[in-house]
Amino acid sequence: MEQKTLGSFLAVLRKANGMTQKELAERVGVSDKTVSHWERDESAPDISVLPILADIFGVTVDELLRGEKAPADAEPSDALSQKSEKQLRYLMEKNFHKYEIGFWASLCTAFIGCLLAFLLYEWVAAPGAVIAAIFAVAAILINGIAAGNFGFSLKGADFSEDLIAEYNNKCRVWRWLAFLLIDGLIALVIGATAARLVPYRLTLLLPVPFIAAAAVLFFKEKAAFRD
């Protein structure tokens, strides 16, 4: 028995409407190769594209996610089926993974800046702090752009509001987490450059509040998301 998937259902709907992959791609705003990947279940449409596809083919988002049309005698409902919810969560995780890449890229950028700052500090303290600050700003921008792209991908989604709110909150928490960790690294650099004025051991305490707040935020978010 052929498995009913989002991709195979898209192929059936497209052919039933007499459209080529290129024509569908132009209407959605993607390449025909992307449509081909969707239909072969090698990738899946972004969350924001689902309502557009549903409108083009005259089906509901729930039907798209289930990979089949609802029975004619089924009562209309705005709620998603269990299978659709599972598929939607998978797509949300996939979308959020793109943000996670930006999250780790921002932390790596801040870390590289701090590493360069410490290397320069051996010679001159001030340039080290300036370099760290520049990299920190770049890291915050990278994280902000990644979070913005994630939020934009959910803008057209007007279904499963609870799930969308859940992932929006998760993204917000991760943004604060990145901000606190980046600030902690910068505090460490500032402390190192000020080590000539205060005892060196005291400078190591500067990032502690930021790291502690980040840890509390992370475990709190993890517990809430698990529930």
Six token digits for residue 168: 């929006």
Please return the burial class of 201, using the count of CB atoms within 10 Å of its CB with bins 0-12, 13-18 and 19+.
exposed
Q: What is the pLDDT of residues 19-71, one digit of tens each?
A: 999 999 999 989 999 999 999 988 888 888 888 898 999 988 888 888 888 66
Q: What is the pLDDT of residues 59-114, one digit of tens each?
A: 888 888 888 886 665 555 555 667 777 778 888 888 889 899 999 999 999 889 88
CA–CA dist 62, 84 (Å, integer)? 6
CA–CA dist 16, 87 (Å, integer)? 24
Six token digits for residue 178: 């990145």
Six token digits for residue 131: 């370099």
Domains of the chain: 6-66 (1.10.260.40), 94-226 (no CATH)
Please return the burial class of 57, using the count of CB atoms within 10 Å of its CB with bins 0-12, 13-18 and 19+.
buried
pTM of the model: 0.72
